[in-house]
């Protein structure tokens, strides 16, 4: 392009072709060191080094500037740096904690409490969103027109409304409209739903139940071992151990049952009882958790449904036809041919949705569910003023989760790529 236009300009007489002597004379007039620099700059193996060096230099200078500013500002405001504050007494209460916590515990403990609450709501959200998302995604492809329409209305509605709005809606409009504890909705006199939350029975683990718990773990381990053995045998001989699934059920249920019978432990339940203005005892699911969980589940399910639909649609029609012509029943076609191939497409974006859900759970702070951001980056930050440390720790938690999952994802993708042709 350039050469052509230059040639054209020369032809038009705009440029005069100078004789070589003149050119060399001009080049000699530039100082020697500048010429050397220019030569280095044009050296393909040297230029990247110069550029990278410059970038590193700029970043280091920027970092020094920022750090010195921060130090100066912190000193000026009388805020000490460092992580000593973590061992100080927190002095504030948290409405939901999975570990023992009260006002006398340290700020470090609030970090743990918040993190566990984040993990709790993320785990529950992922569980429910997966179920709902798969159901809606499959319904979206249903041959029933009405069902497919309904699923697509669900997806398009909840995908296009901000999650925060949905959380606020469930919390302030729906759950706040529930009756007071005295007029609770009750199911079989054991599950109560009211303004203060959902109250369930809580099984109490006594001393005698310990061997039972251990035996459950042992049973699971033995079942997995049996399954592996069965698989090996099937791969070797083409035939599984007869009655394998029966054996596995027997192992899984029989061992704990026998141990329970021998240990003679009894299971007691802690029932929620109305005392004064609220229920006491049992498991209480606070409305903050309920609203957050509802919103996260529905919002993420709408996205997962699209992922599932795309995955199932990505399996070629010929695959289904081939499987059917081999004589597989429709159920087997789905479970042996379509789903395994669809999963390869589904799993990477599905993991992304899980990560999004975990990150979105931080919106808890808007309704006061005590998650990591709300408790630690909220109350603790305000009380201590240690902005840099607190925000850094909070970000580190989310970053660790994200990076771990994407690392696992990359290995998974690599494995999948190897299986492909």
Partner 1 sequence: MMNHELKMIPAREPPVMAVGVLAWIRNNLFASTLSIVATLLIVYGLFLSIPPLVQWALVDATWFGADSNACNREGACWAFVTARLDQFIYGFYPAEHQWRPNLFFAQLAVLVLWLSLKWTPGKQWVLGYSLLLMPFVSWFLLYGDLPGLEKVETHQWGGLMLTLLLALCGMIASLPFGVLLALGRRSNMPVIRSLCTAYIELWRGVPLITVLFMASVMLPLFVPEEVVFDKLLRALIGIILFQSAYMAEVVRGGLQAIPKGQFEAFNSLGLSYWQGMIMIILPQAMRLVIPGVVNTFIALFKDTSLVLVIGLFDLLAIIQAGLNDPAWLGNSVEGYLFAGFVFWIFCYGMSKYSQRLEQQLHQGR
Quick one: 173 or 335, whose CB is closer to partner 1?
Answer: 173
Min dist. Cβ of residue 301 to partner 1 (A): 16
Is 253 a binding residue for partner 1 by CB under 8 A? The answer is: no
The residue within the footprint of partner 1, chosen from 48, 93, 208, 330 (CB under 8 A), is 48
Q: Of 117, 123, 121, give the one whose Cα is nearest residue 370.
A: 117
> Which of the residues 134 through 193 are near partner 1 (CB under 8 A)?
142-147, 150, 156-157, 159-166, 168-169, 172-173, 176
**Residue 199 to residue 145: CA distance in whole angstroms:** 39
Long-range contacts of 274-279 (CB under 8 A, 24+ apart): 274/181, 274/182, 274/184, 274/192, 277/181, 278/181, 278/196, 279/181, 279/184, 279/192, 279/194, 279/196, 279/199
Quick one: 251 or 307, whose CB is closer to partner 1?
Answer: 307
Min dist. Cβ of residue 143 to partner 1 (A): 6
**Residue 28 to residue 17: CA distance in whole angstroms:** 19
Is 338 a binding residue for partner 1 by CB under 8 A? The answer is: no
Is 417 a binding residue for partner 1 by CB under 8 A? The answer is: no
Is 411 a binding residue for partner 1 by CB under 8 A? The answer is: no
Binding mask 269-308 for partner 1 (x = CB under 8 A): ----------------------------------------
Q: How far does CA 381 lie from the centroid of its chain?
A: 24
Is 408 a binding residue for partner 1 by CB under 8 A? The answer is: no
Binding mask 70-89 for partner 1 (x = CB under 8 A): x-xxx-x-------------
Min dist. Cβ of residue 219 to partner 1 (A): 36
Is 57 a binding residue for partner 1 by CB under 8 A? The answer is: no
Per-position DSSP letters for 345-394, written without gaps between them: HHHHHHHHHHHHHHHHGGGGGGTT---IIIIIIIIIHHHH--HHHHHHHH
Quick one: 145 or 277, whose CB is closer to partner 1?
Answer: 145
The answer to whether the beta carbons of residues 226 and 248 sit under 8 Å apart is: yes
For residue 12 the two structure tokens come to: 């038009």
* Piece in contact with partner 1 (CB under 8 A), picked from 124-132, 190-198, 201-209, 395-403: 395-403
**Residue 376 to residue 394: CA distance in whole angstroms:** 8
Min dist. Cβ of residue 255 to partner 1 (A): 38
Is 5 a binding residue for partner 1 by CB under 8 A? The answer is: no
Q: For the packed helices 209-237 and 244-263, what is the interaxial angle rounded to 10 degrees?
A: 160
Quick one: 251 or 363, whose CB is closer to partner 1?
Answer: 363
Min dist. Cβ of residue 126 to partner 1 (A): 16
The contacts of residue 124 (CB under 8 Å, 6+ apart) are 293
The answer to whether the beta carbons of residues 322 and 332 sit under 8 Å apart is: no
**Run of H or E residues at 2:** helix 2-12
Q: Of 82, 84, 85, 106, give the one whose Cα is nearest residue 94.
A: 106
Quick one: 93 or 162, whose CB is closer to partner 1?
Answer: 162
* Piece in contact with partner 1 (CB under 8 A), picked from 63-71, 90-98, 99-107, 282-290: 63-71
Read off the DSSP letter of residue 98.
S
Is 203 in a helix, a strand, or coil?
Answer: strand
Quick one: 73 or 245, whose CB is closer to partner 1?
Answer: 73
> Beta strands of 89-223 (E only): which ranges?
185-187, 191-194, 197-200, 202-204
**Residue 389 to residue 380: CA distance in whole angstroms:** 11
Quick one: 230 or 356, whose CB is closer to partner 1?
Answer: 356
Min dist. Cβ of residue 247 to partner 1 (A): 33
The residue within the footprint of partner 1, chosen from 94, 193, 342, 363 (CB under 8 A), is 363
At residue 194, φ and ψ (nearest 5 deg) are -155, -175
**Residue 370 to residue 301: CA distance in whole angstroms:** 23
**Residue 58 to residue 72: CA distance in whole angstroms:** 21
Min dist. Cβ of residue 213 to partner 1 (A): 36
Name 205's bridge partners: none
* Piece in contact with partner 1 (CB under 8 A), picked from 213-221, 329-337, 343-351, 393-401: 393-401
The contacts of residue 260 (CB under 8 Å, 6+ apart) are 212, 215
Min dist. Cβ of residue 232 to partner 1 (A): 39
The residue within the footprint of partner 1, chosen from 214, 403, 408, 411 (CB under 8 A), is 403
Rule CB under 8 A: which residues touch partner 1?
A: 1-3, 48, 51-52, 55-56, 59, 66, 69-70, 72-74, 76, 142-147, 150, 156-157, 159-166, 168-169, 172-173, 176, 359-360, 362-363, 365-366, 373, 377, 381, 387-388, 391, 394-395, 398-399, 401-403, 406
């Amino acid at each position: 392009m350039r050469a052509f236009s230059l040639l054209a300009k020369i032809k038009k007489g705009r440029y005069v072709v100078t004789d070589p002597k003149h050119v060399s004379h001009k080049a000699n007039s530039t100082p020697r060191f500048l010429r050397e620099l220019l030569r280095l700059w044009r050296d393909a193996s040297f230029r990247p080094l110069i550029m990278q060096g410059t970038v590193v230099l700029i970043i280091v200078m920027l970092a020094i500037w920022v750090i010195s500013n921060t130090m100066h500002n912190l000193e000026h405001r009388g805020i000490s740096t460092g992580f000593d504050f973590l061992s100080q007494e927190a002095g504030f209460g948290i409405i939901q904690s999975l570990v023992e916590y009260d006002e006398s515990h340290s700020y470090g403990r609030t970090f743990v409490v918040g993190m566990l609450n984040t993990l709790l709501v993320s785990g529950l959200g992922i569980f429910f969103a997966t179920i709902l998302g798969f159901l809606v995604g499959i319904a979206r492809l249903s041959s029933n027109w009405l069902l497919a329409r309904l699923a697509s209305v669900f997806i398009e509605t909840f995908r296009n409304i901000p999650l925060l709005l949905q959380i606020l809606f469930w919390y302030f409009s729906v759950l706040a409209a529930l009756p007071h504890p005295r007029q609770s909705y009750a199911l079989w006199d054991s599950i109560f739903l009211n303004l203060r939350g959902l109250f369930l029975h809580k099984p109490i683990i006594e001393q005698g139940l310990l061997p039972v718990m251990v035996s459950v773990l042992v049973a699971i381990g033995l079942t997995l071992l049996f399954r592996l053995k069965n698989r090996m045998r099937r791969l070797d001989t083409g035939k599984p151990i007869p009655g394998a699934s029966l054996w596995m059920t027997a192992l899984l249920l029989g061992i704990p049952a026998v141990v329970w019978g021998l240990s003679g432990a009894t299971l007691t339940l802690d029932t929620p009882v109305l005392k004064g203005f609220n229920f006491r005892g049992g498991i209480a699911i606070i409305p903050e958790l309920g609203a957050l969980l509802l919103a996260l589940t529905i919002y993420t399910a709408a996205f997962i449904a699209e992922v599932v639909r795309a995955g199932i649609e990505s399996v070629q029609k010929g695959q289904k036809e081939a499987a059917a012509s081999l004589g597989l029943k429709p159920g087997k076609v789905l479970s042996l041919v379509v789903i395994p191939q669809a999963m390869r497409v589904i799993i990477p974006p599905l993991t992304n949705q899980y990560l999004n859900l975990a990150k979105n759970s931080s919106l808890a702070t808007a309704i006061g569910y005590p998650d990591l951001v709300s408790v630690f980056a909220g109350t603790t930050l305000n009380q201590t003023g240690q902005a840099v440390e607190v925000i850094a720790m909070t970000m580190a938690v989310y970053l660790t989760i994200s990076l771990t999952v994407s690392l696992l994802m990359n290995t998974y993708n690599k494995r999948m790529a190897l299986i492909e042709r």
